[in-house]
Structure 1
Amino acid sequence: MAGDPAVVDEVVAAARAESAEVARLPPAENRRHVEVMLAAGLAAFVRPGQPGDPERGPERGPELGPDSGPEIHPQVRPDVDPDFEAAALLGADRAAQGVPITALLRGVQAGRSRAVQIAMERARAAGVPAELMLEVLLESDRYTGALEIHVITGYHDAELELARTARDARTQVLRRLLLDDARTLTADELAETGLQPHGQYHCVVSDVTDPLRARAMERQLATNPGLFGLVDGKLTGIAGRLPASGPPDAQALVVVAPQAPLDRIRPLYALCLNALGAAEELGLRGLHHVTDLAGQSALSTQPAMADLLSRTLLGALDPADSFHRQLAATVLAYLDHGQRFDRTATALHVHPNTIRYRLTRFEETVGTSLEAVTVESRAAVMDTLHWWWALRTWLGPP
């Protein structure tokens, strides 16, 4: 049967009639796989040297006729493990060609049914006993079931490989945009990722490093056009627009920059990375604009200055003293709430007079008055910044 062009044609026709997607492929492509799969399937039931063995050649003679086909042995179960390589290759090829798996299986099942029908017709014509035909049919059904599994496996393996290859290529483009010179990318390379050479994009950096979490969050953050991947170990990307809501992962921290052309994304990425580190030190979660973290990220680049300022202004405080830590935390909250006693008291769940008392004790302990931070002047702004920076450094991460 495998070498009979008429059989191959009928099996191909059945597959193409059942699946429009398979029918869109060139007929020669369908024939190629049908011929190989028929040969592999029949070989599982033909013993070496018996009629039907391809190595033996066509059977001829007055008692056999021009093409009698393989002898059906009473022991119909194959002596050797069937070769399913052709089935796996069929699945892989159709995945690469973009044929949906459901359409592929419709074609495979239609072709299989027609091949079995032809085999039964020829067996009856040759006088094969019904009992033996049933045994062969049951065994071939087991074989074709395994064949379909290998088609599916080959398809999914190829899908994963294609996705990995495409994803790797997209990630490499993203890394070149963020770490190298965007001008080295050609228009074709950008087009393959869906990016527009003259488009405007947000740079997006997160603290997510786990690949599974990254995939889940990427589905919400990624837009068309957009490009995401793991860069420097973190889920990072560029997006044409931002999602209406925050990241789906409540524990994730995401920093975004304003829209900019591709050739300005690289410096924005550096700013976002720095801001992300500052936001992590503050214990922040959710989505934040890089400009909202400008002060913290700028100060975080000067740890030596922060340490020097902390020792200069707060040298009298003992980090191991819980009361001293309470005083420092109160002053920091006071600065964070606009030097307002009422707002600070509400935030700390105490009476405003308690805030006044703690500020007085703080001034006594460090030997410096905080009066300068309440004056509306440029000097007061800088004094406030110095105290805030020193207190934040001295207290450490929240």
Structure 2
Amino acid sequence: MTRTGKAPTFGALLRDLAADAVVVDEVARAARANSPEVARLPAGEVHRQVVLLVTSGLGALERDEDPAGRDFTEARRLGAGRAAQGLSVAGLLRGVQAGRDRAVELVVRHGRAAGIADDVLLEGLLTIGRYAAAVEWAVVDGHRAAEREFVGTGTAARARLLGRLLLDGPAGTSPGELARFGLRPQGRYHCLLATRTDPALSHALHRQLIRHGGLLGTVEGRLAGLLPRCPGAATVDLLVLVAPAQPLQRAPAMYALCLAALRTATHRRLRGLRRLTDVAAETALDAQPALAELLRGTLLGALDPTDEFHRELARTALAWLDHGQRLDQTAAAVHVHPNTVRYRLRRLREVTGGPPVEEGGRCTVPETVHWWWALRGWLDGH
């Protein structure tokens, strides 16, 4: 922010900073850098926390009201959510306070650059400081209230153990602690991970899965688990991924794979319970975006993304590969006659040089992978 003409008001400065993605990112990075527990949270959640604090201060400044009269339900919900994720109140506060300190530094720096007098900056910072303190108190109050509830049900201890096992592995965890929650040091468990959603849906899914035994809880904002038996299905309308059973030592690796596969499956708009291995190829290919771009350019550079006929050719070819290079199955999938499929494949070959679709011919496995990857990426990217 540079000085241009008349200095803005303190409220206008704060509003501009709250809407500045770079500023919000700096504050969020400070919170994550000063609290290892906060650093494990998804970046988007930390950003939302930053916006909550800044907008609370902005509202306080504009309304000039007593903090005691405000509704801090969202702040309490934030604290309760962090407790459910296994964060300690000390780790949470370290992140909140580091973010607040960085925000103050940025307000002063940008305010002076914009020509706001130091006494105006000081008065504004004192005002929002009172509200920031009230927000922090509400966060802590929500965290402690949730912890008291969890103590009665064992939820907090379950979440902490599950988080440690999925993020760091079983090293340092005693057999007795594992046994307390039904796990065995030498057991093999299916890592389960669901998409973030409304807490009511997560709770309903939790009730369905708990009968399979093992350990379930919230990790990084998602329902996760280590189950001795693979669930047969999930009736809740959520995307749930389940990895093959593996030793506890491999739990962090399975969790990381499920997390990557969840992004791929979400992009494909998949729902229900899915095995990790069902989306293995797509997940592996999605991990190489630069290579995918090179492949698209090499194989499909002659296609025009603005030409609907070219897009129709690409969709038909992708369906052909998805259905085992069978004309009849492809025709049924795209609702045309097999001769139309044959014509489109030949036209695509004329335009791009491939894939090989001569009568009775088949793509080799590498050719199938290359063309499928290029076609899917070309259609998704345009």
2:338 paired residue among 352, 355, 364: 352
CA change 1:187–1:159 in 2 (3 A) is same
The Cα of 1:370 is off from its aligned counterpart by: 2.2
Q: Does 1:179 align with 2:167?
A: yes
The Cα of 1:321 is off from its aligned counterpart by: 1.8
Q: Deviations over 1:204-233 (max 9, x none)?
A: 111133322111101112245311122222
Q: Which residue does 1:197 correspond to in 2?
A: 185
Q: Does 1:249 align with 2:236?
A: yes
1:297 paired residue among 283, 288, 300: 283
Alignment of 1:95-134 (within 5 A): none
Contact 2:169 2:250 in 1 (8 A): no
User: Any runs of at least 4 consecutive aligned residues in structure 1 with deviations exceeding 6 A, and if so which?
Assistant: 157-160
The Cα of 1:266 is off from its aligned counterpart by: 1.6
Q: Higher relative CO (CA 8 A, sep ≥ 6), structure 1 or 2?
A: 2
Number of residues of Structure 1 aligned to a counterpart in Structure 2: 238
Q: Which residue does 1:58 correspond to in 2?
A: none
Q: Which residue does 2:176 correspond to in 1?
A: 188
Greater Rg by CA:
1
1:390 paired residue among 366, 374, 377: 374
Structure 2 Cα separation of the partners of residues 230 and 295 of structure 1: 27
The Cα of 1:189 is off from its aligned counterpart by: 2.0
CA change 1:225–1:397 in 2 (3 A) is farther
Q: Does 1:228 align with 2:216?
A: yes
Q: Which residue does 2:107 correspond to in 1?
A: none
The Cα of 1:318 is off from its aligned counterpart by: 1.6
2:228 paired residue among 240, 244, 250: 240
Alignment of 1:131-146 (within 5 A): none
Structure 2 Cα separation of the partners of residues 286 and 373 of structure 1: 38
Contact 1:315 1:366 in 2 (8 A): yes
Per the normalisation by structure 1, the TM-score is 0.55
Per the normalisation by structure 2, the TM-score is 0.58
The Cα of 1:336 is off from its aligned counterpart by: 0.6
Structure 1 Cα separation of the partners of residues 212 and 269 of structure 2: 31
The Cα of 1:168 is off from its aligned counterpart by: 1.7
Letter aligned with residue 234 of structure 2: P
Segments of structure 1 that go 5 or more residues without pairing to the other structure are 1-156
Structure 2 Cα separation of the partners of residues 230 and 159 of structure 1: 14
Q: Which residue does 2:261 correspond to in 1?
A: 275
CA change 1:296–1:372 in 2 (3 A) is farther
Segments of structure 2 that go 5 or more residues without pairing to the other structure are 1-144
The Cα of 1:369 is off from its aligned counterpart by: 5.0
CA change 1:383–1:374 in 2 (3 A) is farther
The Cα of 1:326 is off from its aligned counterpart by: 0.9
Alignment of 1:1-398 (within 5 A): 161-163=149-151, 166-223=154-211, 225-244=213-232, 246-250=233-237, 252-368=238-354, 370-371=356-357, 375=361, 380-396=364-380
CA change 1:173–1:337 in 2 (3 A) is same
Tell me which protein shows more helix as a share of its residues.
2
Letter aligned with residue 247 of structure 1: A
Structure 2 Cα separation of the partners of residues 181 and 310 of structure 1: 39
Letter aligned with residue 380 of structure 2: G
CA change 1:289–1:397 in 2 (3 A) is farther
Structure 1 Cα separation of the partners of residues 174 and 292 of structure 2: 44
Q: Which residue does 1:69 correspond to in 2?
A: none
